[in-house]
Amino acid sequence: MPKLGTIVASIPQPVLGGAGLVMFGMVAATGIKILARVDYGPRHNLLIIAISIAVGMIPLVAPTFFAQVPRWLAPLVNSGITLAAISAVLRNALFNGGGSDTDAEPDEHEGRIVSV
């Protein structure tokens, strides 16, 4: 697709930079919008988000932090997005993995609450 490549190459760098800023700004705004709907009260949701954002920022604030990891692991630890996503999924499974309190129903035989 050389013609498409020529068109893209003819776009000035400041225009591409502006488009990139808008695109990543929209992604960030959408993320904030999603986080605005999260119920932070029950369980450890605020802690999960805070730690995941902090872990995701490690490659930005300390680029040599993972300098000693094996080469095969480098693509995972050099990406803040990947680190934050893995951290959020693992912490959510660890802290909230047992199901929610709304999933509990009274046991008909003994009148106690059991998880479904």
Over residues 51-78, the pLDDT tens digits come to 999 999 999 898 888 888 898 988 888 8
Q: What 3 state SS string does 34-46 have?
A: HHHCCCCCCCCHH
Taking only Cα atoms into account, the Rg of the chain, rounded to an integer number of angstroms, comes to 22
Residues 6 or more apart whose CB falls under 8 angstroms from that of 76 comprise: 82, 83, 86
- Please provide the distance, in angstroms rounded to a whole number, between the alpha carbons at the two ends of the chain: 55
- The model's pLDDT over 12-33, given as tens digits with 9 standing for 90+, comes to 999 999 999 999 999 989 988 9
pLDDT at 110 over 60: no
Q: Residue 61, SS3?
A: helix
**Enclosing H/E stretch for 114:** strand 113-115
Angle ∠(9,13,19) on CA atoms, nearest 5? 100
Q: Look at the pTM and tell me if it is higher than 0.85.
A: no
- Model confidence at 115, pLDDT cuts 50, 70, 90, reads very low
Position 41 pLDDT exceeds 50: yes
Q: Exposed/middle/buried for 97, CB within 10 Å: 0-12, 13-18, 19+?
A: exposed
What pLDDT score does 105 carry? 53
